Amino acid sequence: MKINFSTAAQHLGSSAVREILKVTQGKNIISLAGGLPGEELFPMQAVRDAYNKALAADTSALQYGLTEGYLPLREQIAARLTGQGIAVSASDMILTTGSQQALDLLCKIMLDPGDSVLVEAPTYLAALQVLGSYRADIHTVKSDEHGMLPDHLEEQLRIQRPKLLYAVPTFNNPSGATWSRERREQTVELCRRYNVLILEDNPYGEITFDDAQGAYPPTLAAIDRSGEGESCVVYTGTFSKIVAPGLRTGWIIGPPELIQVITKAKQAADLHSSAIDQRALSELLHNFDLEEHIRLISREYHSRMKLLSGELASRGWEGTHFLEPRGGMFLWLTLAEHINAAKLLPYAVRQGVAFVPGEVFYSEQPHRNTMRLNFTHTPPELMQIAVQRLDEALNIYGQSAEASQPIAQAD
Ligand SMILES: Cc1ncc(COP(=O)(O)O)c(C=O)c1O
């Protein structure tokens, strides 16, 4: 039978990262491709205890729950966020199946086909997938390592009349970049002026490599709430990177009328996210020192990032440059202009290392000589071998016919 898919389904792209992960699974390939936390750092015993406690309490962990999510957990998240400068209460929030669902639900309630959305370049691949599935008209705002360029942002706000701006301003996936305070303030101010909602996606913000007080700028949500006037920032966060992604628990906060409509959309999507996972997380927050755990994984990820960056620097590949991220899980590598990272990938996989070619993170004008490297999942003892294999791949690719073909950076 020929299946007559909807127009929306025909616009569903597949994730290049997930395709690469499939190729690398079960083989002797060191993957710097996936955005995976180091599983040896999962707080296994604390999570086991938390599930036991959740099940021991009564039967309600296995019953249907509220669409908005388990109230005590929402209160605990609200208290943590308030401590981070985002003053919210449980009623400003809905719990979601990871922040990925928050992204999807927000787009579902905001976007009609053809509506304009502004994003960074490069940006989170699965956000591009979601926006594409709702047939948004995606436009990029030029950025440098300090964030979106205010002049270009204003031009895009004026010309494209977007409904939404999507950004990962802290330890960006994929670029690792962190916006400066000034750019954050300018972005919030401009979006307010043009009446455009910002979705701030912040899964990595707590994984910090600098211990100094005041080392990092406040979130857009904190800036937004500290100012005068109507709030324009909707904020999503997740336990995926600070506890474990398998718990599939994230949250979105925003004005009450927006949360109400998201709640209706979530009812239609899945009634509510897993009750037992939410109860277990609530127990975990009660009985486990999450802040200490975050400090521990941050220290370990910092040292893995330093290992990777040291190995890359020591190779001295011509025309290659990168900035060390100040937190998060990714390092963005720019290769010499003539190298096409997507064409390099099969050579790398043959040598036993994988990465994500940077081009997949652009909705337009891809920079093909870039790649995203994850440093959190590969054990430290394999980092040097990974970069050695990348070096071999670059050498073999460099001698191939493919390498001599000119590449168009933008199309
Ligand atoms: C920028 C960004 N947003 C959202 C997500 C989704 O995370 P989750 O659904 O596991 O909370 C990810 C995951 O890698 C991400 O990198």
Predicted confidence at residue 17, as pLDDT, reads 66
User: What would the two tokens of residue 376 be?
Assistant: 């959190």
- Give the contacts of 92 (CB within 8 A, at least 6 positions apart): 78, 253, 254, 255, 256, 259
The answer, yes or no, to whether any atom of ligand 1 lies below 6 A from the CB of 147, is: no
pTM of the model: 0.95
Predicted confidence at residue 203, as pLDDT, reads 98
Could you tell me which CATH number the domain at 7-42+292-404 has? 3.90.1150.10
CA distance 212 to 185: 22
What is the tens place of the pLDDT at every residue in 361-375? 999 999 999 999 999
Sign for the CA dihedral angle at 140, 358, 330, 131 comes to positive
pLDDT at residue 151 is higher than 70: yes
Nearest alpha carbon to residue 35 among 373, 400, 334, 288: 373
What is the tens place of the pLDDT at every residue in 289-342? 999 999 999 999 999 999 999 999 999 899 999 999 999 999 999 999 999 999
What is the tens place of the pLDDT at every residue in 345-364? 999 999 999 999 999 999 99
CA distance 349 to 370: 17
What is the tens place of the pLDDT at every residue in 34-56? 999 999 999 999 999 999 999 99
Q: Is 335 within 8 Å of 359 (Cβ atoms)?
A: no
Nearest alpha carbon to residue 34 among 372, 379, 380: 372
Q: Provide CATH 3.40.640.10 ranges for the chain.
A: 45-287
DSSP 53: H
User: What would the two tokens of residue 136 be?
Assistant: 């948004």
Q: Give strand pairing partners of 345.
A: none
Q: What is the rounded average pLDDT for all residues in the chain?
A: 94
The position carrying tokens 């008209």 is 137
Task: State the fold for domain 45-287.
Answer: Aspartate Aminotransferase; domain 2 (3.40.640)
What is the tens place of the pLDDT at every residue in 230-271? 889 999 999 999 999 999 999 999 999 999 999 999 999 999
Q: How confident is the model at residue 117 (pLDDT cuts 50, 70, 90)?
A: very high
How many A from CA of 166 to the centre of ligand 1? 13
Predicted confidence at residue 16, as pLDDT, reads 67
Longest dimension (CA), the chain: 67
Q: Provide CATH 3.90.1150.10 ranges for the chain.
A: 7-42+292-404
**Shortest-distance atom of ligand 1 to CA 239:** 11
For residue 237, the Cα-to-chain-centroid distance in whole angstroms is: 10
pLDDT at residue 155 is higher than 60: yes
The answer, yes or no, to whether any atom of ligand 1 lies below 6 A from the CB of 115, is: no
Sign for the CA dihedral angle at 293, 299, 303, 306 comes to positive
Nearest alpha carbon to residue 315 among 330, 292, 333, 302: 333
173 CB neighbour count, 10 Å cutoff: 24
Q: How confident is the model at residue 15 (pLDDT cuts 50, 70, 90)?
A: low
**Shortest-distance atom of ligand 1 to CA 168:** 1
Which protein residue has the closest C-alpha to ligand 1 atom 8?
A: 98
- Give the contacts of 401 (CB within 8 A, at least 6 positions apart): none
